[in-house]
Amino acid sequence: MINRKYLKLISIALILIISIGFAYLTSSLIINGIIGYKGNSWNIYFDNISMIKNDVGGAKPTINNSKDTVNFSITFSEPGETFKFSVDVVNEGTIDAMLSEILTTGINSSNSSYLSYTVKYYDDTELSLNDGIKAGTKTRLNVEVNYKYDTEVLAPVGNQDFSIKLTYVQAGDNATFKNTLINPDNNNVFTLNNAKSNSLNNLKIYGNNEQTTYEGYNLLNLPSSYSFTQFSRIFFDNTFTAGHYTFSYSSRVSDAGSSLIVIGNNTDPNNANSMEYIITRQISSSTKSFTFTLTEEQASKVNAIYLYASSDWLSGADVTTTFNDVMIYKGTDSKSYEPYVGGEPSPNPDYPQEINAVTNSNLVITGKNIYNPNYRNNGVIAATRGHATVENGVFTFNATGSDFYIWLAESSTSFSAARRGQVFPLGNRTYTATISNPLFTKNYVSFFDEDMNPLGFKSFNSNSFTFNQETAGSDKAKYFALRFGYANSVDGETYTATIQLEEGDTATEYEPYYEHSYPITLGNVELNRIGDYRDSIYYEDGDWYLEKKIGNYTITGSETYEWYSECPRICFNFGNIPPNNVLYPSNTTDMPYLMSNKFVTVTINDIHYVTYENRKNGFTLSNNNYISFRRKKWTDKATAVSESTGTIIYYVYRNSIKEKITDSTLLSQLEAIRSSNLFEGINHIYFNSNIGTDISFDYIEE
């Protein structure tokens, strides 16, 4: 194995090129006749670069003005580093295209031992000649450059130039068209163009997992719904520093007209009357938040916070107050509620968060109209100045005044969450919404960020309107909801309408909403993901297979432990998992190739790895069968062993494990998807599952 002490620098400049041209186009001339051509267009280009992994800190690749070349330059420092990004190949023309040439330069026998450079589709399948791209669609490529970790040859210092050229021509009869459903625009909905009636081919379902993370800014250790009678001491610690703070809550229910919060210094924790007031504020039903400032002297004194159920708290009146989502945090900006997690990012050793994997999925297919009239509560509609019902996709609105608005909603009692109605992913898409009744011309699109916080709205004075990311006016906009209104409705009048939401910038003929669902019950099978490695289920040569790239091991407490007192941690023998079956991580800043359900999060750098040689986490173990856990509060081996028991270690196999699926229920569900004529009249396909996952497939036209 190479010695890290003598690593060299290698700088690499790479170019990815698209070349396009017409092939097989011919002209036919008719003597004494007229030659006519439709207005076709030929336009294939690169678009939408997104970084996936960047060990080297290199700049994001760029696309030239003609959009046919991607340029990037990176400098490697040591083996194991990776530079990876995705880029779309878009066929915006009216003619189907196919890949006719893949030409690479710069990769040769002298450098391939320490460097790899690959361009694959987003689902990790290889590019092949005659791969087609339908007119009006796009495909996504992953470009990855690696300074190989297990190389025995050091790269020379200096620059090396590489390129790959992809040539597209008009699609011939031998073209193979791939449609890949893998989180386009990161919203897990795939739009199918030029749909044909045929069964799925090469179907593959990928694993994923998620772990809730928190920033740790909430200073109040309270449940999300907190009730108390008279008064309650909720904080007794001195963790405040000088600066600005915000008190906030989402809702309050109280027997009293207002509540009281007191922040100060209490010399006797058991006696509220001994409190020296520093901050005192009444809280009415309309006061959802307020800010306050502590000087250095005040901050050093604060050791208690009291909530009182009534402003007349000394009277001892028997009243009860309930606060929902109450917080105090440093700063004056608005923050979404998060639970108390010890004042530091979570998951952490004291506040672990469960790692959830894909266990069940539901493949959903719909037509062009994606507005579901029966969304929530069997079609109950929330309305202002009136009420509404829906039956067979037709809305009936009964007005009780002017300025009549409707939402598809969960209830009519809460304006915020309930009345925003059905929420859709925005992505890099353009949508057109239409309500058939021309009287409804006071319509709105509300935009939300990834945490569903409102970002504002856009009004439209037409019963049909188009909008996209640019309309939102913020790159933070990830979701949207619709509101339809009639500004001059008449009390007692009844109005009917249908609603359609479709992709594109043109309103088309109304189509009722429909969907078909295909459940996938995985049973005891978990489909996981760690970094770029994903478990999957796939169909091949008449059989279904499970490919596991992620293994797991649960610590029982019976392992062989070693204790390192100079840095409180335990290292236990991982010998029952052969080291050559574990794929080791390259450094401590990436999503881990090893993760734990108790102590590790994929979003912070305190990652515990299987160690070998002198890894970047700063300690060395001679035996690579060991894994290390560190936790500041551990002071002895017995505590460390006890608290680590039950921890599940997830790791990546060096060589994946494949097995044929035999579960009869799962097989019947998968076969129902594959054998159905899925594409006839279908415009959208997506997974509705416990965790968002991906699907890829090819379809061949009949």
Give per-residue pLDDT as tens, 296-315: 999 999 988 988 876 555 55
Residue 91 CB neighbour total at 10 angstroms: 24
3-state secondary structure of 432: strand
Strands 158-170, 10-20: parallel, antiparallel or unpaired by DSSP?
parallel
| Percent of residues, the chain, with pLDDT higher than 90 | 15
Mean pLDDT value across residues 143-163: 74
For tokens 């690593």, name the residue: 7
Q: What is the pLDDT of residue 82?
A: 82
State the amino acid at position 67 in one-letter form.
K
Q: What is the pLDDT of residue 467?
A: 95
Assign 507 a pLDDT band (cuts: 50, 70, 90). very high
* Residue 672 host element (H or E): helix 664-675
Mean pLDDT value across residues 264-273: 80
Which of 263 and 625 is assigned the larger pLDDT? Answer: 263
407-411, 585-589, 669-673: segment of lowest average pLDDT: 585-589
| Positions of E strands within 172-230 | 176-181, 189-191, 201-206, 209-211, 225-229
For tokens 């998060």, name the residue: 338
Mean pLDDT value across residues 422-431: 83
Is a pLDDT exceeding 50 seen at residue 186?
Answer: no
pTM here is 0.64
Return mean pLDDT, the chain.
Answer: 75
Q: What is the pLDDT of residue 572?
A: 63
Residue 90 CB neighbour total at 10 angstroms: 20
Residue 212 phi/psi, 5-degree rounding, is: -65, 135
Residue 670 phi/psi, 5-degree rounding, is: -65, -40
Q: What is the pLDDT of residue 93?
A: 82
How far apart are alpha carbons 175 and 105 in whole angstroms?
25
Contact 687, 695 (CB under 8 A): yes
35-39, 249-253, 466-470: segment of lowest average pLDDT: 35-39
How far apart are alpha carbons 163 and 103 in whole angstroms?
8
How far apart are alpha carbons 603 and 593 in whole angstroms?
13
| Positions of E strands within 436-557 | 443-448, 454-460, 464-467, 479-486, 494-497, 499-503, 515-521, 529-530, 533-534, 536-540, 543-554
Mean pLDDT value across residues 585-595: 46
How far apart are alpha carbons 247 and 552 in whole angstroms?
42
Nearest C-alpha neighbor of 42 from the set 96, 88, 100: 96
Q: What is the pLDDT of residue 183?
A: 45
Question: Which tens digit of pLDDT belongs to each residue from 529-571?
Answer: 876 778 999 888 889 999 998 888 788 888 777 777 766 666 6
Q: What is the pLDDT of residue 414?
A: 37
